Amino acid sequence: MTETAIRTSGLGKVYTVGDSRVEALNGVDLSVDRGCFVAVTGPSGCGKSTLLHLLGGLDFPTSGEVWINGICLNKCSEKELAKARCEEIGYVFQNFSLIEELNVRENIVLPVLLAKRKVDTDLVDDLVKKLGIEDRLNFMPSQLSGGQQQRVAIARALVNDPSVILCDEPTGNLDRKNGQEVIELLHSVHEAYKKTIVVVTHDKTIAEGAERVVRMEDGCILG
């Protein structure tokens, strides 16, 4: 029997701005097996980022439920949610979201410090080697290429050793070559650390390399 890493049932999200109401997600039922590499595709505005935010506990649904490793995120207390976000989930964003005032090493270990844990230096050494940034640890984000910044963001997403990694258009701000390298790194991370990986993407190469492709349209999953 396979274990389920991610499960949503009847997941809905309505945004209200002034008088207008946007139904960004409309009853999404999704189940992802532990260790699966999933690509989520669909036209701009179909709700991909909204879905990822809800899976990561970065926002709340207006209806339905999200379960990550058996934890129902929308029934958690604030404290439990913070713990689940920190321990179970790593995030990679299109714009890297590094802290400009911190160097590479400080950016990578920040989630560990926020979790009030001890830095696992063996894991950090291993990550920076695997991601090819071991000679950039003292650099500031502004001194890195986009591809290098995304590698730092991937290391940061992995530093607390979460089992689920959520990536929103991770190659969207990169040129083809760097994008390709980031994709290969996500696959090697998937292999090496046995993570469940969900990647929202317009990138055909990512979708082709994924174990499973989830297609969305108008706030729903197709098929």
Q: Which of 3, 10, 45, 217 touches ligand ADP by CB under 6 A? A: 45
**Interaction between residue 94 and Mg ion (CB under 5 A):** no
Q: Which stretch binds ligand ADP (CB under 6 A): 48-56, 64-72, 81-89, 107-115?
A: 48-56
**Interaction between residue 49 and Mg ion (CB under 5 A):** yes
> Packing angle between helix 121-130 and helix 176-193, nearest 10 degrees?
140
- For residue 48 the two structure tokens come to 């991909």
**Interaction between residue 56 and ligand ADP (CB under 6 A):** no
Q: Count residues contacting ligand ADP (CB under 6 A)? A: 12
- For residue 143 the two structure tokens come to 């001194």
**Interaction between residue 20 and ligand ADP (CB under 6 A):** no
**Interaction between residue 22 and ligand ADP (CB under 6 A):** yes
**Interaction between residue 8 and ligand ADP (CB under 6 A):** no
* Calpha distance 125→130 (Å, rounded): 9
Q: Which of 6, 28, 39, 50 touches ligand ADP by CB under 6 A? A: 50
Q: Which stretch binds ligand ADP (CB under 6 A): 40-48, 93-101, 154-162, 183-191?
A: 40-48
- Concatenating the DSSP letter of every residue in 106-144 gives HHHHHHHHHTT----HHHHHHHHHHTT-GGGTTS-GGGS
**Interaction between residue 48 and ligand ADP (CB under 6 A):** yes
The item of ligand ADP, Mg ion, none sharing an interface with residue 222, based on CB under 5 to 8 Å by kind, is none
Give 24 or 32: the residue with its C-beta nearer to Mg ion.
24
SS (H, E, C) 1-26: CCCEEEEEEEEEEEEEECCEEEEEEE
For residue 57, CA distances in Å to 72, 119, 187 come to: 10, 24, 24
Are residues 194 and 165 in contact, defined by beta-carbon separation less than 8 angstroms?
no
- Give the closest residue to 92 by CA, choosing from 12, 7, 21, 195: 195
Q: Which residues bind ligand ADP (CB under 6 A)?
A: 15, 17, 22, 24, 42, 44-50
Q: Which residues bind Mg ion (CB under 5 A)?
A: 49
